[in-house]
Amino acid sequence: MENIIRRPSHAGSWYTDNPNILSVELDEWLRASGIAKSPEVRGVIAPHAGYSYSGRAAAYAFGNIDPANISRVFLLGPSHHHYTPNCALSKATIYKTPLGDLPIDQEVNEELKASGKFELMDLQVDEAEHSMEMHLPYLVKVFNGYTVKIVPILVGSLSAESEATYGQLLAKYVDDPTNFFSVSSDFCHWGSRFNFMRFDRKHGAIYKSIEAMDKMGMELIETGDPDAFKQYLAETQNTICGRHPISVFLHMLKNCSTKIKIGFLRYEQSSQCKAMRDSSVSYASAAAKIVN
């Protein structure tokens, strides 16, 4: 089979395309996070903005990964440019990064395809999307010296029923301890450019109101209840761009036999909004850990 390459289309803009600088940058962020690898961690939720904004926060997720027994990473990322009511698989066979390449697990891809529930995304849709690409350099860095394959899943604008269906379908992969899950999401996008300016004055400044709303969502994600998270989104309308991947992941954890709990480890905002003309994006990193 001839290789189909997905280029690192956001390298050189969203993050540096210089492998030496990128490597040093990721090492420094991982070290600064002070997070220790844990074989108990089976998945992460991490942001996907440009590294100058969210690279530091993302280290609090990726620093948890113990590569020793993991041979496959499922990526769940939201679709920013391409509308689909389903999930889509990649047509590529290799995802390139400035630090090295990640092969796609064709066997699992075919298995998922056979379910009849997945679309295939064109290479241009794949390359236009940044939500999974921003996780790749960290994965190459953490799995340096180990063999790992990836299963990228673009998560579309799913209905609540579809989120549950995909969660049930993917749950069996959680029970295989050689699988890992990298879920891509930023949190609140606040400001007129995002058409979202919810502000509850009881919290004080705007950025404090944003933080209170985000943290309420994070706490609900930690309960593992996809319905409670759905209800929260309906009530607050919080602009969490990875809400569908997070919801699918919650359904996966609910339907698998392994007991896993999500815990958030880091929360940041790109800037502190103090006036209605300001804008910001929030970043949160979490680890999904086996509970004994």
Element housing 170 (H / E):
helix 160-174
Helices 226-236/243-255 angle, 10° precision: 160
Tell whether the model's pLDDT for residue 233 goes beyond 90. yes
Is 104 within 8 Å of 95 (Cβ atoms)? Answer: yes
pLDDT band at 292 (very low <50, low <70, confident <90, very high): confident
Tell whether the model's pLDDT for residue 286 goes beyond 80. yes
Give the tens place of pLDDT for each residue, 41-89: 999 999 999 999 999 999 999 999 999 999 999 999 999 999 999 999 9
Residue 33 CA to residue 37 CA, distance in Å, equals 11
Exposure string over 213-249, b if 16+ CB within 10 A, otherwise e: bbeebbebbeebebeebbebbeebebbbbbbbbbbbb
CA angle 278, 9, 46 (to 5 degrees): 55
| Amino acid at residue number 231 | Q
Averaged confidence pLDDT in the chain: 97
Per-residue pLDDT at 175: 98
> Could you state, in order of their start, the residue ranges of all structural domains in the chain?
5-290
Tell whether the model's pLDDT for residue 164 goes beyond 90. yes
Residue 271 CA to residue 199 CA, distance in Å, equals 16
Write down the residue that tokens 């679709």 correspond to.
79
Helices 19-33/51-62 angle, 10° precision: 50
Tell whether the model's pLDDT for residue 1 goes beyond 80. no
Write down the residue that tokens 């029970």 correspond to.
175
When pLDDT is averaged across residues 139-164 and rounded to a whole number, the result is 98
Tell whether the model's pLDDT for residue 120 goes beyond 90. yes
Per-residue pLDDT at 105: 98
164 three-class SS: helix
Residue 190 CA to residue 279 CA, distance in Å, equals 5
Class of domain 5-290: alpha beta
When pLDDT is averaged across residues 153-161 and rounded to a whole number, the result is 98
